[in-house]
Structure 1
Amino acid sequence: MEDEHIYKSHNKTLLLYHLVFPLKYRKELLTEESGGTLVSICREVSERYEFEFIKIGYESDHVHFLIQSIPNVSVSQMVRTIKSITAREMFRLHPDIEAKLWGGNFWSSGFYANTVGLYASKDVIQRYVENQGKEKEYKEVHSGQLKLF
């Protein structure tokens, strides 16, 4: 991936997300045919919304996405949009899948999300921030431990 920044009137961003969606009940329902359908649906979603599917990979019971988006689209908004449209269209185009999933949901309610750094890892960014101003007067104003909530 080259320098694929998104330019808007007042910002330049390169926001990448790794998202994983498990199918409801972790049912092994994705085949080569239905996986191809899912990719086609995602292409159509990209045309209507401000996020781009960089990569899509799947196993029979879950799907991995590498997605680029803009700052004013939250991760939860992106997940909600992708899940709702893909579920509706997968059921419409593959009624056999809907019949195997009682309760009418294609995806499980949960998901995995992680940010992806194209240019640097957490350690590289941390060193970059620590080394700011070394040639002049540098004052560290905060140093904290990463917390998971």
Structure 2
Amino acid sequence: MTRRVRRFSGGVYDLRYHVVWCPKYRRPVLGGQVAARLEELIRAKAAEHDWEIIALEVMPDHVHLSVKAHTKDSPSRIANQFKGFTSRVLREEFPHLRSRLPTLWSSSYFVATVGAVSQDTVRRYIDTQWERPWKKGGEGA
């Protein structure tokens, strides 16, 4: 797999997040047409913010999303953008979601960074900086 980085005037980055969220009380309400519409809405919100969806799976009682985002977007903002937008639209389009749940989504979510290399690899790279061939002669990088 080739690593695709994004560039901007101040640098280069590759930020990926794994985000998981659940309906209130973890009720299994994300099936059929609701699941299909939820997937459409998540893809639309990602396109609006120029976030790249790596993987998306809508389960009956939770959502798994792997998304590549920009440096300006915090993980909490990403989760809240998806949750807020999808809740409003789904509850408008599917009235049974309003009658069964006080709010569509639980207030919590899980988010983790997804790196292209392991923490051990990064640590080893940092710890061995002075062992690089171009550093041994005392020259700058």
Give the unaligned 5+ runs of structure 2: none
Cα distance change on mapping 1:127 and 1:137 into 2, 3 Å: farther
CA distance in 1, matches of 2:137, 2:120: 23
Q: Which residue of 2 aligns with 1:130?
A: 127
Give the Cα separation in 1 of the matches to 2:122 and 2:107.
33
- Letter matched to residue 43 of structure 1: R
Could you state the TM-score of these two structures normalised by the residue count of structure 1? 0.82
Superposed CA RMSD: 1.8
TM-score w.r.t. the length of structure 2 is: 0.87
| Structure 1 runs not aligned, ≥5 long | 139-149
* Segments ≥4 residues shifted beyond 3 Å: none
Aligned counterparts of 1:56 and 1:96: Cα–Cα separation in 2: 24
Deviation at 1:98, TM superposition (A): 2.1
> Could you tell me which amino acid in structure 2 is paired with residue 72 of structure 1?
K
Matched ranges for 1:110-125 at <5 A:
110-118=108-116, 120-125=117-122
Specify the alignment match of 2:18 in structure 1.
Answer: 18
User: Identity percentage over the alignment?
Assistant: 27
The superposition leaves residues 14-50 of structure 1 with CA deviations (integer Å, 9 ceiling, x where unpaired) of 1000011011111111113211111100121122114
Distance 1:137 1:83 in 2: 53
Contact 2:21 2:64 in 1 (8 A): yes
Which piece of structure 1 moves more, 125-134 or 65-74?
125-134
What residue in structure 2 maps to residue 66 of structure 1? 66
The SS at the match of 1:106 is coil
